[in-house]
Amino acid sequence: MVVFILFVLYMATVAYSFGSSAFGIHGNGGSHNGNTGFNGTSTITTWQQLNVTNSGLYPATFGTGLVVYNASGVVFGSGSTPATTISRGDSAELIFGASLSVASGSPGQVLLTQSETLQFGIWVNVTTGLYLLVPFMIHITQNQSWGAPFTDATATAGVVGSQTSVTFAFDNNASFSLGGTMAYQVRTPGGASCGSGSFDVNTPEGQSFTYTVPTSCTSLTGDSFVANLSNNGGQFPYSVDLPAIPVRG
């Protein structure tokens, strides 16, 4: 009976410690904190942060998992962080990233041209106690507005004299700047190239971009503008393919 009573009292202190730790977990308010951008091949990396205070009676180990999806439940990517132990009375920041694929044909490719309200489902595994460790789980959902880097991307045909051209334009509504080399092709409905080349892109967040390229297409009906933005310099080199943009007259 004494052992049972001690066990119940211990579990009560563990539950109290878990409740105190759960109350001390705070999200970052849905802010990118500047830690979002292209990384690698057709990938967007976004970093999230949890501020944790362990107000319980025992040390606690925290591990996190993250799933990013939209209001329709379409999953764009996921991530996690290694377990971190926080002593009683201490605080720490749990920083973890999610990789979102924007490759051709992936659900996340729409993030290149369409703004979304993203939902970050965060699962926090908490293990606390002294001799007998007890696991718990906390689920947090954060909504975050996503601005597309190539919002309202258009390709518009024009003729000056005898030279046909295509004007490519977009608004950068992302929370990061776009910079690099844009390699492009103007393609006929049959897939043949009737104009190709490259140009530099340097567009801060919130800014618009416009560039006109020549093309030898004789009929622009059904043609498309396809492009790849790459940047091999800096800390995070990347390459990303834009979805094909119909050329309009």
Kind of pairing between the strands at 151-160 and 245-248:
parallel
pLDDT per residue of the chain (249 residues) written in tens, 0 to 9: 655 454 444 455 555 555 555 555 555 544 334 368 898 899 998 877 778 887 777 788 888 888 898 888 899 988 887 888 888 878 888 777 788 999 998 999 999 999 988 888 888 777 776 666 667 777 778 888 889 999 999 999 887 767 888 999 999 999 889 999 999 999 988 888 888 999 999 999 999 999 999 888 766 677 899 999 999 877 779 999 999 999 987
In order of start, what are the domains of the chain with their CATH numbers?
2-146 (2.60.40.10), 151-248 (2.60.40)
Backbone angles phi, psi at 222, to 5 degrees: 85, 0
pLDDT of residue 141: 81
pLDDT of residue 112: 95
What's this model's pTM, rounded to 2 decimal places? 0.79
SS3 3: helix
Could you give the C-alpha distances from 43 to 22, 58, 117, 137, in angstroms and in order?
32, 40, 18, 29
**Integer Cα distance of 63 and 81 in angstroms:** 6
pLDDT of residue 129: 66
C-alpha R_g of the chain: 25
pLDDT of residue 120: 85
Indicate the residue type of 93: E
**Integer Cα distance of 157 and 164 in angstroms:** 7
HEC profile of 34-103:
CCEEECEECEEEEEEEEEEECCCCCCEEEEEEEEEECCCCCEEEEEEEEEEEECCCCEEEEEEEEEEECC
Q: Are 149 and 171 in contact (CB under 8 A)?
A: no
pLDDT in tens, 188-215: 888 888 889 999 999 999 999 999 998 8
**Integer Cα distance of 64 and 80 in angstroms:** 5
pLDDT of residue 181: 95
pLDDT of residue 219: 65
Q: E-assigned strands of 87-237?
A: 91-101, 116-128, 134-146, 151-160, 163-171, 178-187, 193-203, 208-215, 224-231
